[in-house]
Amino acid sequence: MSKETRQFETEVQQLMNLIVNSLYSNEEIFLRELISNASDAIDKLRFEAQTHTELLEGEGELHIRIAPDSETKTLVISDNGIGMTRDEVVENLGTIAKSGTAAFMKAMEESKKGDAIAPELIGQFGVGFYSAFIVADKVTVETRKAGEGEAVRWESDGLGSYTLETCAKKEHGTTITLQLKAEGLEEDFTEEWAIKRVVKQHSDFVAYPVIMNVEKTEPLPDEEIIKDADGKPIGETTKKVRADETLNSMKAIWATPKSEVTDEEYDEFYRHISHDWNSPLDKIHMKFEGTTEYDALLYVPSKAPMDMYYSEKKTGIHLYCKRVFIMDDCTELMPEYLGFIKGVVDASDLNLNVSREILQQNRLVRNIRKNLVKKVLELFSKMEKETYAGFFDEFGPAIKSGIPMDHDNRDKLAKLIRYKTTKSDGAYVSLEEYVAGMKEDQEFIYYITGEDLVSLAGSPHLEALKAKDYEVLLMSDPVDEWVVQSLPEFDGKKLKSAEMGDLDLTEVDDDTKEAFKNFMEYLQKQLDEEIKEVKLSSRLKDSVSCLSGDALGMSAYMEKIMKASGQEMPKQKRVLELNGDHPLVVAVKSLFEKDAGNPVLPDHAQLLYDLAIISEGGRVEDPALFSKRVGELMAKAL
């Protein structure tokens, strides 16, 4: 097929523009990414070959080869892995079919400091191949899919287009040739010592040999050594030769005793499997022996990945069987809410040909999952308070989401969740700490949900609770709405919303109710389309009015979340509560009693309702009219 020129997808062009015109603070990261991709390709071939042995085509050792050339300023990275078809080349190298692309590019822009981009971003969004353009003016890819006859050549300068054509390639696999930039690079990546250093630092734990033909010094054969009369060498005793050298240890770190693994090795292996430039926060390295045997090395990241809440993101658990790769996205081994955990599980009793369907029904896998979750939750519970607070800042919403998802571990998760409160001065409080600090006469664990902590802390719904010196949990994550539905009580204390139902803290006496009866009926008639009921409040101490819901109804925040997700919601009528002691309410009531037909009364009724909406951070339907009414009221008062 003749050479064909194509344009990159729009997202890739934008991505290329960012990468080509920016530099990592560490340029060398490109080599780690390309070696990692090559390792993945061999993993896939090895897995497919379990059932299709012909794909190996009589191959010897599966490997990755690096070939630098200082004269031509090229660097070649090749593998004899699965390879790609023409369609796969277009899909993988011409398109980024991920919903997180926009977020990735935004994150790159925001992370730029001068000319540097945070190196962890490439790996997190699965676009590591494009890091080649950090060091290369041109990239050529030649690849042939195992079991296929046709090979394809892809080539681009990263400036918006690429070419495709068929080519001859004897072996299956992929060969990437980088035409390195002539100037501007901090390091010469054709130097053997530079390549050795990068591979040792970033790719030492890759499971396949990373080979490079290097110059070595070898002793000369005895017969070639020139000697004096006494038999002592008087000439060269060594010679320079070139030979293949394996640059990485291929150490299966998860199967190595903990005492033989250094902290540096743990950290580098984490970076290898996670593509995260940061060091992990903590780790679990365990060997389980008994009816089932397996090795596990799990890591807790220190920072939440940029794509953590994208539905297409992969989990971080790599599954092996007797050190043979099975899959890198084993959702069966870790629940979704712990999907940020990275690591490796090597189970010796698994079938090498295992499929996802078999995994889902496999008793061994279910047992491993149960033990892993138990160990992870134990690790969280044993963290120092300050360390856990930092962890919860990053992963709190994920931990909370486990409460409605994981019934078996609900009690453990309830002890792990944290909230800021009306008394905590910005610090996190556990439910155990909250219960321990409850007043003697306090019956419930009080909470309020909403969009931001500042509005929640100042909500009029809390005035009576604050007056009794009761602490209130401030819940500002959307997932909190599902938490309180799934966690009706903790340590024998029921959770109670500060805005739903009656608080039953104080009683409005019958004489007051009778005195306000006619006025309340009037307001109900005026606002009937907006509210379910109007009543005197037991919540309010300083504010004019507020809106509350039924004890079993939907909170205002939940309604907002559902609408934002595109779900059509029936109009939720709520209760308008008035502070009968507030001067404004007293004045409007007095005006009503003097002249029930006064034309300003409907405006005042609407104003009392609008003030309730604004007090909880809501938006009134007609802001201009609201402003006009307030202005007129102020003018008369002055």
Positions at the binding site: 33, 37, 79, 84, 92, 98-100, 124-129, 174, 356
CA dist 466 to 343, 361, 423, 443, Å? 46, 52, 10, 15
Tokens found for residue 425: 């001065």
Residue 234 DSSP class: -
Task: Give residue for tokens 């008035």.
Answer: 578
CA dist 474 to 433, 458, 471, 537, 541, Å? 15, 10, 10, 21, 20
Cα separation, 316 vs 313, whole angstroms: 9
Task: Give residue for tokens 């043979």.
Answer: 324
Packing angle of the helix pair 583-594, 601-615 (nearest 10 deg):
160
Q: Can you say whether residue 490 is alpha, beta or left, with left for phi > 0 and alpha for psi between -120 and 50 degrees? A: beta
Residue 174 DSSP class: E
Tokens found for residue 327: 């899959």
CA dist 103 to 13, 310, 342, 479, Å? 15, 10, 22, 21
CA dist 542 to 538, 584, 617, Å? 12, 11, 17
Cα separation, 564 vs 574, whole angstroms: 19
For the annotated binding site for ATP, the residues are 33, 37, 79, 84, 92, 98-100, 124-129, 174, 356
Tokens found for residue 635: 């003018």
Run of H or E residues at 23: strand 23-24
- Listing from the earlier edge strand, what are the strands of the sheet with 531-536? 531-536, 574-578, 545-548
Tokens found for residue 112: 């730029």
CB 340 within 8 A of CB 310: no
CB 535 within 8 A of CB 521: no
Report the 10 Å Cβ neighbour count for 132: 25
CB 428 within 8 A of CB 392: yes
Residue 21 DSSP class: T
Cα separation, 430 vs 175, whole angstroms: 54
Length of the chain: 638
Tokens found for residue 331: 């959702």
Tokens found for residue 436: 């321990």
**435 phi/psi in degrees, rounded to 5:** -60, -40
Helices (H), 546-600: 556-564, 583-594
